[in-house]
A and B are shown apart, each in its own frame.
Chain A
């Protein structure tokens, strides 16, 4: 009975002061992480693609932004937006939105790096093949490169989501009532339930992160297998890419056997 008593206010951890006030607790962590990753997703793609651009006036601002954000702690970004967004907008915004905006700024830089890695992992032949069929550069990106890149990026997106979810706990410092804050509130109001508060905080974070990281691992396995089955780089190269060239060389080969491919290698 004592144990049940200790954990009796788990509604508060889960939803915060929800029925009487704003939503909070673990739910708020999840909402913030999803909002941040959703809003910054498009920015991440644009930044990551622009970073690979060959035009310096597009490339260098993007590199500067990504490296600037990546070498600043999230707390600093949160403070910048918490204290100085009111100066810029001229009016106060709620702490929830200032937290979400700073998480977005943070997430966009990391997602840009994931997107860049994903695009670079697509074999170069894919782009060349797409361009040679007469696609525009945009069309090739949109229909050939990005779909393949997304498939490779998916596991790292999920594991980035886990790390972003953990980072939402930092917003407790500017007073967002999320899981860490609810735990602190309870452990200060009812000191006898301190251990229960910390254990509930840990369980809340652990369950979500563990599920997501397992999901990432499973995705990684499935996509890895799927890729091997579908692309098979060796098979592609032998059956489709080299065939026309061999035929073309074959015409001359009969006259001059010394330029047979086996001699060249």
Chain B
């Protein structure tokens, strides 16, 4: 049970990080000026948003090794922890589509002058994104991103379908071995509720830390 809880947390942290990375890349693709990249990004989002995450987890576990060249597939299937990897991949591709959509919404919230100011100070494209646009995108998109990450955390329980030994799977094992299903399920539910509560409060703290005091800005403008 405790190892299951550990694995759930590992899954949560890794999928959060990877899906943020992938989601950011796709969000940049979707707002770029190059049509091919934009179309590719839109296709990605349309495909992955409209098919359930459970499907992707099953797909990466059962189907993905078959699609690879046979010796790679056999190597992947022989790994003990392949269910965990497949779960991470499935959750990442599913979550990244949502993240990219949220971030694209955050891009629209940035005033146009920011980009112009970045260009006029002579920053390169990459510098513009790294220093000006991305931080503001994340700040604007923080509340929906937080909700999405809690959702992603709850989705890690889907990995039990491919026998990744996380807490829901451990609950099932305890149920089938000792018939103490009620105790195990109660503990697991409490674990989920507690961790979701911790995540929500962390996000609220982060929001408060990153909040810009708009009244102070407008005051300084008025003073000028």
Contacts and interface: CB of A to CB of B under 8 A. Distances in A.
Q: Indicate, yes or no, whether A interacts with B.
A: yes
Interface of A: 68, 71-76, 79-80, 83-84, 162, 166-167, 169-170, 172-173, 180, 184, 187, 194-195, 198, 201-202, 205-206, 209-210, 213
B196 interface: yes
Interface stretch (B17-25, B56-64, B82-90, B121-129): B56-64
A76, A162, A213, most chain B CB atoms within 10 A = A76
B59 A73 contact: no
Given A76-B189, A79-B171, A194-B62, A167 B154 contact: no
A198 B66 CA distance: 12
A22 B185 CA distance: 30
* B contact patch SS: helix
Contacts of A79: 168, 171-172, 185
Contacts of B154: 71-74
Contact of A205 (B51, B156, B188): B51
Contacts, number: 95
29 contacts: A71-B200, A72-B154, A72-B196, A73-B158, A73-B192, A79-B168, A79-B185, A80-B189, A83-B175, A83-B185, A84-B181, A84-B185, A166-B50, A169-B52, A169-B54, A170-B52, A170-B54, A170-B158, A187-B62, A194-B63, A198-B55, A198-B62, A202-B51, A202-B59, A205-B55, A206-B47, A209-B50, A210-B50, A213-B50
Contacts of A83: 175, 181-182, 185
A71 B52 contact: no
Interface in B170-201: 171-172, 175, 181-182, 185, 188-189, 192-193, 196-197, 200
B118 interface: no
B161 interface: yes
A68 B193 contact: yes
Contacts of B168: 73, 75-76, 79
A205 B200 CA distance: 31
A180 B55 CA distance: 7
Contacts of B51: 166, 202, 205-206, 209
Given A162-B50, A173-B160, A206-B47, 4 more contacts: A76-B168, A76-B192, A169-B55, A206-B50
A180 B50 contact: no
Contacts of B181: 83-84
